[in-house]
A and B are shown apart, each in its own frame.
Chain A
Amino acid sequence: MLKFSEDHEWVNLDADICAVGISPHAVEQLGDIVFVELPDIGLAVNKGDAVAVFESVKAASDIYSPASGEIVEINNALLDDLTAITPESAMANWLFKIKINDAGDLDSLMDEAAYNAMIG
């Protein structure tokens, strides 16, 4: 089940494990990514917590947790080559996975059509 947040994260729920990434639109808007910080495995997070950071040349952007739960996996390979973070790869590049407490946390998110309508 693929959904999108207003903050341009995408989430993909598989059983109770939720993979989180940022949308192609967000990557395009950020421009050249120069720094990424991912959360620690085992971190307990609440829905809406800022859990990761993307920095472009000009600005910093927080990545928010779409649900409450625990960080169970992070995509460290992403940090090896930040130039590989492109709009084309954005949907394949998950950042972290959360074992979520309540799938209801994701009810307020948008489906792809609604998200595409939002970004115009």
Chain B
Amino acid sequence: MEERRTPLYDFHIANGARMVPFAGWDMPVQYTAGIKAEHLATRNGAGLFDVSHMLQVELSGNGADAFFERLTPTDIGAVAEGRVRYSMLLNDAGGVLDDLMVARLDGRLHLVVNAGRAAHDIGHLRQNIDDSTKIDVHHDRALLALQGPKAAELLSYLGLDLDGFRFMDIRHFTLGTIPLVITRSGYTGEDGFEISMPANAAVDIAKTLVATGDVTLAGLGARDTLRLEAGLPLWGHELDETITPTMAGLKFALSKKRRDAADFPGADIILDEFVNGPKRQLVGLLASGSRPVRDGTILLHDGVDIGIITSGSFAPSLDRPAALGFVETHLATEGTTLAAATRGGETPITVVNLPLVSHRYFRG
């Protein structure tokens, strides 16, 4: 199958990217620096990621809020103009169809959904829509993520006024003559920005950022190790149609008003888990030794299958392997030692709290 290319495809190639197929797109997994260097540059300075493969969708019309609430556990009325929320599309079993970011800007709802779920999500939205809401899919826009402790300084240096712009805010900006929509958010655990722009401006913006000399190009490989350390779930790993938000440690995304009303898909199941605890829950896991324990590895306690690794990698900021996985709730306490059933036998692996690396969001 022919992979789609983002507006930055030639830019990636020119910068030494190794391209891989990802969710139907040809994306950079790493540049010449390599995953570890790109990861650490993001934690210590600023990394630039092309995330244009993610789908940008706009909901407008009188019924947009009610429509969005029918599919999610979010109190969207509480999302003020200029604010962003993490949310998810739920099925009637309380499983997560996809997770997403939703923002209110110019009175409309702006959604960013996973590339691998884009077709599903559009189908799901269209299937549930009525005449009071309009869906616009923005295939003509690019999305860049500038992440790391130096990200704000860099955007200020380029002339953007970030005064009062906090974590989970969204605002219009202009760089030169290019109109940008920026959210202060990301997928690394660091302070950072996700910058939406017209597709034809993407190369100019990327070059402008790189020309500051303080930006490291970072690929999907570093994006994955950064989000793993930050304990942020990836759909298809820590989230899927059988995994509830309560299992995945996402109780914060279940608005109180919606819990009280119990009017979202799968509310009966999710609210029972909210009170009584889910059967399994997401934890961090640190194995002994230097060998990464990978996705799909079964976890044992006293020889009994009690969980599974959903993401496993080398964690550059910890300088050791680290993993995310689900374990039975009674074993989901920090310090519990389990065994990972690896090919060579059983490897001791210890439950730790998430995140593995502390978040450093800018809350003003």
List chain A positions with a Cβ less than 8 A from chain B.
29, 31-32, 34-35, 37, 55-58, 60
Contacts and interface: CB of A to CB of B under 8 A. Distances in A.
Interface stretch (B108-116, B173-181, B254-262, B313-321): B313-321
Given A57-B36, A57-B313, A58-B35, A34 B221 contact: no
A52 B58 CA distance: 51
Interface residues of B, number: 17
Interface string B3-46: 00000000000000010000000000110001110000000000
B34 A34 contact: no
Given A32-B34, A32-B35, A34-B321, A57 B314 contact: yes
Nearest to A50: B343
23 contacts: A29-B18, A31-B221, A32-B34, A32-B35, A32-B36, A32-B314, A34-B290, A34-B321, A35-B291, A35-B292, A35-B314, A35-B321, A55-B291, A55-B292, A56-B35, A57-B35, A57-B36, A57-B313, A58-B29, A58-B35, A58-B224, A58-B313, A60-B292
Contacts of B35: 31-32, 56-58
Contacts of A32: 34-36, 314
B225 interface: yes
A35 B290 contact: yes
B322 to A, nearest CB: 11
Interface string B265-297: 000000000000000000000000011101000
Given A57-B221, A57-B225, A57-B313, A34 B30 contact: no
A58 B39 CA distance: 13
A23 B181 CA distance: 46
A58 B225 CA distance: 9
A12 to B, nearest CB: 28
Tell which of A31, A34, A57 has the most Cβ of chain B within 10 Å: A57
A63 B35 CA distance: 22
Contact of B221 (A35, A37, A58, A60): A58
Contacts of B316: 57
7 tightest CB-CB pairs across the interface, nearest first?
A34-B314, A57-B35, A57-B314, A35-B291, A32-B36, A32-B34, A35-B290
A25 B263 CA distance: 55
B294 A60 contact: yes
Contacts of A55: 291-292, 314
